[in-house]
Amino acid sequence: MFGRGSKSSGWKWGLIGTAIASGALIPVVPALKKRAMRATTILKKDHRVLSGMMATLEVTPRINGMVRQRLFNQIRISFMMHAQIEEEIFYPEIRNLMFGIEVPKVNEAYHHDQIVKDILNQIAAIDPISNEFDSRIAELRQYIDHHVRAEEVEMFPIASRISAVQLEEIGRRMHDRKMNLKTQMAA
């Protein structure tokens, strides 16, 4: 059935479909929502969205200067909001909940966020069809990739020592702050 293996696997998919249709899996949905509200899940999603927008910008031809400028503006806004919720909520929580060797990692994260924000502000003044724009975008990509690796490899394991309840509470605060920032920008 659909290239999924033997005939016996077909009845398994039928059971899964029946369970979904009957509502038997509804108790699982709140658990998925909670996981989606974890601070680390929110930040990972931001990282993937930023990476996708960067890849799109990098393959957009120079002739489409207006499209490149819009993509860059979206990247800039997305990163600025991402950095703001990290700096206002996530990093202070990590610093408060974990002591010792982790504090320098938090300080380094603030520093790397500032470097990316500086590069974004510099690129904003560059013509999107120029060679300089492309070279600065390549530099930006390197710093964003470093930001993502540093957070996901160094900060997230620290955050995993926090209880799931705390991560969800931090995530809710981050989500609410992000929605507030979006509302402010739209006004």
Instruction: List the one residue out of 181, 133, 175 whose CA is nearest residue 40.
Output: 175
CA dihedral 170, 171, 176, 182 (to 10 degrees): 130
Same-domain check for residues 25 and 60: no
Same-domain check for residues 93 and 160: yes
Model pTM score: 0.78
Give pLDDT tens digits for 107-128. 899 999 999 999 999 999 999 9
Give pLDDT tens digits for 56-97. 999 999 999 999 999 999 999 999 999 999 999 999 988 887
**What's the structural domain count of the chain?**
2
Same-domain check for residues 143 and 169: yes
Using left for φ > 0, alpha for ψ between -120 and 50, and beta otherwise, residue 100 falls in left
Same-domain check for residues 6 and 91: no
